[in-house]
Amino acid sequence: MTAQKNIPRHVAIIMDGNGRWAKKRLMPRIAGHSAGAETVRKVIQSCIDKKIEVLTLFAFSSENWKRPEKEVSRLMDLFSIVLTRDSKKLDKQNARLKVIGDRSAFSLKLQDKIAAAENLTKNNSGLTVVVAANYGGRWDILNAARQLARRAASGEIDSSDIEYEMLESGLTLHEYPDPDLFIRTGGEKRISNFLLWQLAYTELYFTETLWPEFKEAEFNEALDYFAGRQRRFGRTSEQVEQDQ
């Protein structure tokens, strides 16, 4: 049974395994990505039902441009279709969409669609769905570092006064709590340049299940795993228990 207490505020997911799912069925890789989009819809609904505050989904990494041109262009088409089809639904669900990553590499049409979807949903107060597209954790930190360097160069701040919070305020997710639970489907146990800074104390859950086959029961398993963890943030168990 799923524990009702100890629900994470922020869940971050690397949705991996679409290509292998399609290959197993002798289908083109893009069919796996389309099937993966269905899983996204279901996971969003589960997050709303469970009153999770933020769901961050890794949709396209800054390294995924290295894939065959055809796959990349079909992924862009799919992103565009999903934005049109699902932003109205997200709005009805009182959910907010936010896209993180370097969107300047996308076509102007896609950039407009992203902005329109964000705009449509910006005043909603329920779940925030963050889509990481052309995102890289190193890019995120580099951007924040550049902002600090500019402020230091202009004399606004002194480099010796730079605190963690100041760097953090330049990161894309600065307005949200760090992810409490990270899930990666598809069997690989790596971060693949996802949220590097923000995952410092996140509970990590890896599963062999391919993303298109990731169902609510398995999401519940991941949440149960999370509920069973003791988060110590460097302290001892005894200290944590005393505080409870």
Contact of 103 with 134, CB cutoff 8 Å: yes
Q: How many residues bind Mg ion (CB under 5 A)?
A: 1
Which amino acid would we find at residue 157? Answer: I
Q: How many residues bind ligand IPE (CB under 6 A)?
A: 17
In the stretch 148-187, what mask flags binding to ligand IPE with x, by CB under 6 A? Answer: --------------------------------------x-
- From 11-19, 44-52, 220-228, 234-242, span contacting ligand IPE (CB under 6 A): 11-19
Question: Which CB, 87 or 209, lies closer to Mg ion?
Answer: 209
Element (H, E) at 109: helix 108-121
Min dist CB 200 to ligand IPE, Å, is: 19
Q: What are the residue numbers of the active site?
A: 16, 64
Q: Which does 64 bind (CB under 5 to 8 A by kind): Mg ion, ligand IPE, none?
A: ligand IPE
Tally of helices (H runs) and strands (E runs) in the chain: 8, 6
Q: Among residues 209, 31, 211, 53, which one has the least CA distance to residue 124?
A: 53
Contact of 213 with 24, CB cutoff 8 Å: no
According to the binding rule CB under 5 A, does residue 140 interact with Mg ion? Answer: no
Question: Which CB, 49 or 63, lies closer to ligand IPE?
Answer: 63
Contact of 78 with 131, CB cutoff 8 Å: no
As beta bridge partners, residue 54 has 10, 128
List CB contacts of 76: < 8 A, sequence separation 6 or more. 106, 107, 110
69-92 helix and 29-49 helix, angle to the nearest 10 degrees? 20
In the stretch 35-74, what mask flags binding to ligand IPE with x, by CB under 6 A? Answer: -----------------------xxxx--x----------
Which residue ranges make up the site for Mg ion (CB under 5 A)?
A: 16
Q: Please report, as ranges, the residues that interact with ligand IPE according to CB under 6 A.
A: 14-20, 58-61, 64, 75, 186, 188, 190, 192
